[in-house]
Structure 1
Amino acid sequence: MTKAIDYLAKCVHITCQNATQNRCNVEVLGFSKTFHVDIPAKEDPSKNTVLFSKDGNITLIGLNKDNDGNTIDAETAIKICDAFIKFESDDASPVAVLYGVGESFCTGFDILDLASDERSEISMDILMLPEGSVGPTRRMLTKPVVCAITGYCVASGMELALSCDQRVMETTAKMGFFNRRFGVPIIDGGTARLPAIIGISRALDLILTGRILEATEAYEIGVANKVVPVGDALKEAVNLAQFLSKFPQEALKHDRKSMQESSFEAIGFESAIQNEIMSITKEIVDEMQDGAKWFYRNFKINNTGTWMPAEMTMADWDNKVVVKEAAKVKNFKDVEHIPVIKQVIGPHKNDIEKNAVCTSEKEDGNDKDKNNK
């Protein structure tokens, strides 16, 4: 047998003809065949997108993407999963802290990783990732995790935070399912966890509207467990983790697991997650593709703008306020053709023109009084 193996080893020759295209040529006894093989790219050690460290017996996992919002692509999601597996296998570390490096915790999955001008279709691989598109969001972690929330914690980034046991939120931090405006569905456990945390009525409000959830409201409805001053989220999250680590861990883990199971007793957590993923239809995928492509055209090609919502100067849902503010425009006819203005205040055109006339007459009267004086 040994002689046969030695003979074959001399007869087999493997050479890489084109490393950039992952092609290798295998020659056996004079016959050659070219195969496509997966050659893993060498990782740049200077660009560590997921930080893993220890503070005593507390594990620290940091999102360190080189962008403003800590968006997560597929490669980074796998690294986050690996970090949590490493934490769960460490018997000396009972609690972990998840945080974001930079101004924001996480703004979700990188939509630009899905769409580009070179592809007519976007990849649906994120739906099939066993752990989740932004980390281990599609399973229950075996040990407690505290999340430190800074800046924006939105879209699937909010789902990642919801997968943690406790959330420490800075006063200026904001949460919300901003993916609603791009037609991207919730696919990382949000539809299963959020109703269990705050009830279905409030969960429907946040999920259907995609509105901003400020820190004060997040604390009042139970999404945030603690609100701290700006700059203190990570410190307070570590303090909370250290507090939890001082208790006997077997009883703590038992009670934690029992609560999780009872929260999803009706259909089971796994069934809820499967329902969330398997209910994705072709129509939803089409909308998701359109939203991703729109995002690419507006913020990849021309990156001078931002998709973060600006502070509103007036309540656009209050018709009375809309009419009152629109009436202040003296030359209303010069702007009424603009689509967004036409859509918002078009139905109230008559009221606006009446108010504008009244305002104009009032101003003329004031001018006359000033002249008489």
Structure 2
Amino acid sequence: MSVFVKKIVSASNLSFIRLNAIRLLSSKKDASKKDDAQKSTEDIKKNILIEKYGAITTLNIDRQKTRNSLDEATLREMADAINSFDKDPEAKVLVFNGEGGSFCSGFDLDEVEAKGYNTLLDAASRLLRRPLCDKTTIAAVSGYAVGEGFELALACDLRVVEDTAVLGCLGRRFGAPQSLYGGRRLTSLIGLSRALDLLITGRPISGVEAHNMGLSLKVTATGTALGESIKLAKSLLKFPQNALIMDKLAAVNSQLNPNSEESMRDEAIMQSLMGLAIEDLQKGIKKFQGGIGKHGKFYKLTEAPLKDWEIEDSTEEISIKKDEDSDKDDKK
């Protein structure tokens, strides 16, 4: 009997050892799969960096050796990132930025030669959307924003431009057309005469001149465009987003999408937002009645009501006390 028990124990120990060996082997396989997945993820995101600050997302082009030029891989990564931002219900504002002191120097000319212009144009098809996103987009322009990089900045709703930035249609030197609706967008922003100046001559302009032309919301010091853009983005989060998007789409449609399929798409989006915008408006009316936002104030829109002395329709109780001597005089 004891011999039989020993055999059972030894057999169970053997199976236990085999089981552990199988588990160890499977764990190694799982670890290798995770490593492979991590490597593939790193490969996917090797040209851009995505960072999130609450409802604000930054898309940072990171090809610093070529001043953040756009090759096929980078363009496809950007398209995926923009689509993810569009689908994220928590994301409200997207900020485009270039790492290393330059926004974007346009298409990578070496890759244009190797793969052909149409290959890069096909990879950039997501950037042809008008508007680029339904939600708000901001370009933090520093260093060079030329060629398709200039067009990317023009595709954004708002631009914060550093005073030393260089913008323009520098592709004119090589016979490259404005392939991302840059001519149309530029004309809608600054008018035909100024747009033709930049499009025909291809001359570069500084951030200061770009601001004077009306291309930027704000001109800022060197090295501060990203910080100022994030600050701007934070200031927009306090607004109800549905009406904001509706008004933006209406403005873009009037300039870029008259009588087009995209215009019909945007009209459908605006109609779908109408009910939500009305709900936001009802909430806004209650806030206003409680003292928030009165006198044209844009700050503290989501905080406590204004103090009593800030409320316009305030009443004060005044009590008058008569002196005893005046009472005696009245009796006489």
TM over 0.5: yes
Shift of 1:70: 0.3
Task: Give the direction of change, closer, same or farther, for the CA distance of 1:191–1:87 in structure 2 (3 Å limit).
Answer: same
Q: How does 1:52-91 map to 2 (within 5 A)?
A: 52-91=50-89
- Structure 1 residue 225, shift from structure 2 partner: 1.3
Letter of the structure 2 residue corresponding to residue 181 of structure 1: R
Match of 2:188 in 1: 196
Letter in 1 for 2:81: A
Instruction: Give 1 or 2: higher helix fraction.
Output: 2
Aligned residue type for 1:148:
A
- 8 A contact 1:175–1:213 mirrored in 2: yes
Unpaired stretches in structure 1, ≥5 consecutive residues: 1-41, 272-373
| CA–CA distance in structure 2, aligned partners of residues 146 and 157 of structure 1 | 14
Deviation at 1:213, TM superposition (A): 1.1
TM-score, normalised via structure 2 length: 0.63
Given that 1:137 and 1:159 are in contact with CA atoms closer than 8 Å, whether structure 2 keeps it comes out as no
Q: What 5-or-longer segments of structure 2 have no aligned partner? A: 1-38, 264-332
Identity across matched positions, percent:
39
2:229 corresponds to which residue? 237
Task: Report matched runs for 1:42-191 at 5 Å.
Answer: 43=40, 45=42, 48-116=46-114, 122-129=116-123, 131-132=124-125, 136-140=127-131, 141-191=133-183
Tell which structure's C-alpha radius of gyration is larger: 2
Cα pair 2:130 2:256 within 8 Å, conserved = no
CA–CA distance in 2 between the matches of 1:48 and 1:128?
Answer: 20
Shift in Å, 1:193: 0.7
TM-score by length of 1: 0.56
- Judged with a 3 Å threshold, the aligned counterparts in structure 2 of structure 1 residues 155 and 267 are, in CA distance, closer, same or farther, namely farther
Q: Summarize deviations over 1:116-166 as a string: whole Å, max 9, x none.
A: 5xx8xx35223444x53xx52344211101110110000000000111011
The match for 2:316 is none
Q: Deviation at 1:171? A: 1.1
The answer to whether the 8 A contact 1:149-1:169 is kept is: yes
Rounded to whole Å, the distance in 1 between the matches of 2:73 and 2:257 is: 33
2:198 aligns with one of 183, 203, 206: 206
Shift in CA distance, 123/164, structure 1 to aligned 2, threshold 3 Å: closer
RMSD: 2.1
